[in-house]
A and B are shown apart, each in its own frame.
Chain A
Amino acid sequence: MHVQKTITLNSPYTQSCAADRRRAIIRRKVVPWLFVLPILLINLAVVAGPALSAIYYSMTDWNGIGAAHWVGLDNFRTLAADPGFRHAFRNNVIWLAMFLTIPIAMALLAASLLAPVKRGALLFRMTFFIPYVLPSVITAALWRGLLSPDRGIPALLTDLGIPGFDKAFLGGPDTVLPAIGFVDNWHWWGFLMVLFLASMQNIPPDLYESARLDGANRWQEFRDVTLPGIRPTFIFMILMTTIWSFLTFDYIWILTQGGPAGASEVLAVLVFKEAFRNFNAGYAAAIGLTMSFFVGCVIAVFQILRRRGWEI
């Protein structure tokens, strides 16, 4: 027997349905925000708040201790004319060039060689990853000794008759930045390798088989199957390497503090010295803001290319 139900507006039934819909909307849209709220508040206090205050202090003559007085864009005008800033920026660009090439090439090569290895794969991964987990102070102290021209690896190579190593790589203005880059690379490339390896292992083996059937050699397999297969990870690490190259500080500070003669001074070291040695916290904030601007430009370029359909 068919029973027809007549539903009228504002009846208890319709009110109940509306209430259910409201609760569902709240659950879907509001509750997630409630879960995120605590960490968001912490983030605002610890990240956003100081970031906004840095913008303010960059336009003051604050010495880091006393009162701050408004000076407008004076700090940025000083920065534009400061040869020390240009020199540090140049060193950051050199650092970027080093880290966009050497560790990435090493990591890709090692990962592609390790990808088919089944036996002992874990041992290899651990061995290459261990330097990454060492504190930078330990790594720097270790390599300061290993790079000693009298007692380290250069001394050993010189004793073996290999020319070109009778020098203190960390003590020469021409060699110091590549030497510190070498130390940081020793610590860094294993991490990249592990990331690339994990990404490579998600590539379906069928693609390699198809390529081989089509007559591809090892290099062609790498170029046409591996690289496209790990593209998201690869591009992400290019982006992060670029960002981190502008922020690099620890190895340079521990090993040389920007010396000798400013040859290894980078922007982060300049910020530290201006803020904490010269008591020019306002100027340091301006440099820091400029660094953030450069990083923002890099991210913006990636976003624009992505929106234009580039698969990055």
Chain B
Amino acid sequence: MRRYVNALLILAIVLVAPAIAVPASRAMAQDTAEVSFWLDTTGGAEGAECRVENAVDPFNALGNGVTVNATLQANNWDATRTSLAGGAGPDVIGTPGPSFAMQLALAGQLMPLDEFAEQFGWNERFAEGSLNLGMANDQLVTIPDEIETLVLYYNKTLFEQNGWEPPKTLDELTALAEQINAAGIIPFAHANAEWRPANEWFVGEFLNHSAGGPQKVYDALVGETPWTDPDLVAAIESLNQMQQNGWFSGGLDRYYTLTEAEAGSMFGSGEAAMKIEGSWFLESVDDYFGEAAGNENEWGWVPMPSASGEAIFDLGIGQTYSINANSANPEATAQFLDYYFSPETQARLLANCGVVPAPVDLQGQDLSAVNPGLAEILAALNEAFAANNYGYTTWTFWPPESETYLIEQVEKVWAGEMTAEEYLQGHQEVFDKEREAGAVPPIPER
């Protein structure tokens, strides 16, 4: 009997002790507000680790009563969405773009940020109009981060050797591609085997740089013109013609099977002459040029040609950050976001991690370590945005189902199973359905 009493006593102590210890530790923790922040490691942890080193650790070192707990994990967006659906999730909600944040906002899972924006002066810090990209139901719900755009990269050495000039207009681009092809060189090193959504880069570029320009795309996004507008149909037909000519990596079958490394290598070696790609390519472009890559070539870039010849930069937002509607520490979370989006932190992330910044003014910051090509492109993009002369990337300004339609169904146009008009007509149907459901991300007025 005594043996059983002793065993029960021990069991009671084991069960009760943590219950006593937890309030004590909680009492200690209450002096510090904890903020959870999840970072994505898909494709490699170096970027996330660099952000922790350059944004999270310095913030925690400030000793201002807020501690940010960073968790690194792959497929972060899937993990975030799943945890939110279960009523949990981190304090800082990261999404791959405004259209994703919009879905969370419509479900009431994001906290309005208007009060914090006023408290911390975000409206003055961010480029004018840029915070409008984070609006839903007339409230600021997410902060845009990682501005990006697409440009035309070209093999400068190859161009010089052949006396080719970088094009300014779409007609010049087509004529140049014909010349390049006639010389036995592949005009464009493009591939989507490892990233199927690469299709949308080209669809978006051609739609925005067509005869109607970004204004036409804007009109279609806000419903003032149909997606089957002749200019937009012609844009898709131009893109299709390039694919049928085999100008993308030598043929559709190669476009569908080459890896990014193979396409990059083709571009660097001179097997291909040009590449329409995002500003993110600057992180790896030097891997394909020069001695390390086994060639003596140099690269250059120009704005993606347009019908008018005007320099148009399509604006992309690669990431957004919000506050979880169920966050236990919204003020502390806002404090961290304010630090994260300060010009000093954004400049440090750009210089040390190569992370493209949010649309904040970085004048006066030390950007000497930044890739010069990236600095040029970002400066040009900021100028275009300030002048209201920007285009619309599909992953930033389109609702999700319409975006997926554009990515997948264009392959049927290329396969000859659908005309450009049928493609855009189908897109119109999906887009209208999403507009009725209120899923179209905010489109700032032009």
What mask results when residues 73 to 115 of chain B are scored 1 for a CB within 8 Å of chain A, else 0?
Answer: 0000010010011000000000000000001101111000000
**Do the beta carbons of A279 and B252 come within 8 Å of each other?**
no
Q: A63-B103, A261-B414, A262-B408 are in contact. Are A148 and B257 (CB under 8 A)?
A: yes
- In A60-106, which residues have CB < 8 Å from any B CB? 63-67
Residues of A within 8 A of B193 (CB): 144, 170-171, 256
A278 CB–B CB distance under 8 Å: yes
Of the candidates A66, A262, A273, A280, which one forms a contact with B411 in the assembled complex, judged by CB atoms under 8 Å apart? Answer: A262
Of the candidates B81, B196, B401, B412, which one forms a contact with A64 in the assembled complex, judged by CB atoms under 8 Å apart? Answer: B81
**Do the beta carbons of B404 and A144 come within 8 Å of each other?**
no
B418: nearest residue on chain A (CB-CB)? A261
- Report the separation of the CA atoms of residues A306 and B81 in the bound assembly, to the nearest whole angstrom: 45
- Report the separation of the CA atoms of residues A149 and B415 in the bound assembly, to the nearest whole angstrom: 20
Of the candidates A65, A67, A260, A261, which one forms a contact with B84 in the assembled complex, judged by CB atoms under 8 Å apart? Answer: A65
Of the candidates B78, B107, B401, which one forms a contact with A280 in the assembled complex, judged by CB atoms under 8 Å apart? Answer: B401
- Report the separation of the CA atoms of residues A170 and B192 in the bound assembly, to the nearest whole angstrom: 12
B383 CB–A CB distance under 8 Å: no
Residues of B within 8 A of A260 (CB): 252, 256, 411, 414-415
- Report the separation of the CA atoms of residues A256 and B84 in the bound assembly, to the nearest whole angstrom: 30
B253 CB–A CB distance under 8 Å: yes
- Report the separation of the CA atoms of residues A260 and B409 in the bound assembly, to the nearest whole angstrom: 10
A294 CB–B CB distance under 8 Å: no
A185 to chain B, nearest CB (A): 19
A116 CB–B CB distance under 8 Å: no
B296 CB–A CB distance under 8 Å: no
**Do the beta carbons of A276 and B108 come within 8 Å of each other?**
no
What mask results when residues 146 to 188 of chain A are scored 1 for a CB within 8 Å of chain B, else 0?
Answer: 0111100000000000000001101111000000000000000
**Do the beta carbons of A149 and B253 come within 8 Å of each other?**
yes
What mask results when residues 242 to 270 of chain A are scored 1 for a CB within 8 Å of chain B, else 0?
Answer: 00000000000000111111100000000
**Do the beta carbons of A279 and B412 come within 8 Å of each other?**
no
Residues of B within 8 A of A258 (CB): 408
- In B173-222, which residues have CB < 8 Å from any A CB? 192-193, 196
Number of residue pairs spanning A and B whose beta carbons lie under 8 angstroms apart: 80
**Do the beta carbons of A173 and B109 come within 8 Å of each other?**
no
- Report the separation of the CA atoms of residues A150 and B107 in the bound assembly, to the nearest whole angstrom: 48
- Report the separation of the CA atoms of residues A257 and B198 in the bound assembly, to the nearest whole angstrom: 13
B259 CB–A CB distance under 8 Å: yes
A143 to chain B, nearest CB (A): 11
**Do the beta carbons of A277 and B404 come within 8 Å of each other?**
yes
- In A188-245, which residues have CB < 8 Å from any B CB? none
**Do the beta carbons of B84 and A279 come within 8 Å of each other?**
no
- Report the separation of the CA atoms of residues A279 and B402 in the bound assembly, to the nearest whole angstrom: 11
| Secondary structure type dominating chain A contacts | loop
B85 to chain A, nearest CB (A): 6
- In B115-157, which residues have CB < 8 Å from any A CB? none
**Do the beta carbons of B104 and A261 come within 8 Å of each other?**
no
B286 to chain A, nearest CB (A): 23
Residues of B within 8 A of A144 (CB): 193, 257, 259
**Do the beta carbons of A65 and B412 come within 8 Å of each other?**
no
B400 CB–A CB distance under 8 Å: yes
**Do the beta carbons of B415 and A171 come within 8 Å of each other?**
no
B417 CB–A CB distance under 8 Å: yes
**Do the beta carbons of A149 and B196 come within 8 Å of each other?**
no
B247 to chain A, nearest CB (A): 16
What mask results when residues 375 to 415 of chain B are scored 1 for a CB within 8 Å of chain A, else 0?
Answer: 00000000000000000000000001100100010011011
Pick the most buried of A63, A172, A260: most chain B CB atoms within 10 A of its CB.
A260
- Report the separation of the CA atoms of residues A147 and B253 in the bound assembly, to the nearest whole angstrom: 12
Q: A148-B257, A170-B256, A278-B400 are in contact. Are A63 and B107 (CB under 8 A)?
A: yes
- In B212-260, which residues have CB < 8 Å from any A CB? 252-257, 259
A84: nearest residue on chain B (CB-CB)? B408
Residues of B within 8 A of A262 (CB): 408, 411-412
**Do the beta carbons of A277 and B400 come within 8 Å of each other?**
yes
Residues of A within 8 A of B254 (CB): 149-150, 168, 171
- In A268-299, which residues have CB < 8 Å from any B CB? 273, 276-280
- Report the separation of the CA atoms of residues A124 and B405 in the bound assembly, to the nearest whole angstrom: 48
**Do the beta carbons of A276 and B78 come within 8 Å of each other?**
yes
- Report the separation of the CA atoms of residues A173 and B414 in the bound assembly, to the nearest whole angstrom: 11
Residues of A within 8 A of B103 (CB): 63, 65-66, 279
A280: nearest residue on chain B (CB-CB)? B401
Residues of A within 8 A of B417 (CB): 261
B104: nearest residue on chain A (CB-CB)? A65
B107: nearest residue on chain A (CB-CB)? A66
Residues of B within 8 A of A276 (CB): 78
A274 to chain B, nearest CB (A): 9
**Do the beta carbons of A171 and B401 come within 8 Å of each other?**
no
Residues of A within 8 A of B84 (CB): 65
Residues of B within 8 A of A278 (CB): 400-401, 404
- Report the separation of the CA atoms of residues A178 and B402 in the bound assembly, to the nearest whole angstrom: 30
Residues of A within 8 A of B415 (CB): 173, 260-261
- Report the separation of the CA atoms of residues A173 and B256 in the bound assembly, to the nearest whole angstrom: 10
A278: nearest residue on chain B (CB-CB)? B401
What mask results when residues 34 to 69 of chain A are scored 1 for a CB within 8 Å of chain B, else 0?
Answer: 000000000000000000000000000001111100
Residues of A within 8 A of B78 (CB): 276
Residues of A within 8 A of B414 (CB): 260-261
Residues of B within 8 A of A66 (CB): 103, 106-109
B408: nearest residue on chain A (CB-CB)? A262
Residues of B within 8 A of A170 (CB): 193, 256-257
A145: nearest residue on chain B (CB-CB)? B259
Residues of A within 8 A of B85 (CB): 64-65
**Do the beta carbons of B81 and A171 come within 8 Å of each other?**
no
B78: nearest residue on chain A (CB-CB)? A276
Q: A65-B107, A257-B196 are in contact. Are A273 and B404 (CB under 8 A)?
A: yes
User: B-contacting residues of A (Cβ < 8 Å)?
Assistant: 63-67, 144, 147-150, 167-168, 170-173, 256-262, 273, 276-280
Some 21 contacts from A to B, beta carbons below 8 A apart, are: A66-B106, A66-B109, A144-B193, A144-B257, A150-B254, A150-B262, A168-B254, A168-B257, A170-B256, A170-B257, A173-B415, A256-B256, A257-B196, A258-B408, A262-B408, A262-B411, A273-B408, A276-B78, A277-B404, A279-B103, A279-B400
Known: A65-B81, A262-B411. 8 other contacts (CB 8 A): A63-B107, A65-B103, A148-B257, A149-B257, A168-B254, A170-B193, A171-B255, A261-B415
User: A-contacting residues of B (Cβ < 8 Å)?
Assistant: 78, 81, 84-85, 103-104, 106-109, 192-193, 196, 252-257, 259, 262, 400-401, 404, 408, 411-412, 414-415, 417
10 pairs of A and B residues whose beta carbons are closest in the complex: A66-B107, A171-B253, A171-B256, A168-B253, A261-B411, A171-B257, A261-B415, A168-B257, A278-B401, A65-B107
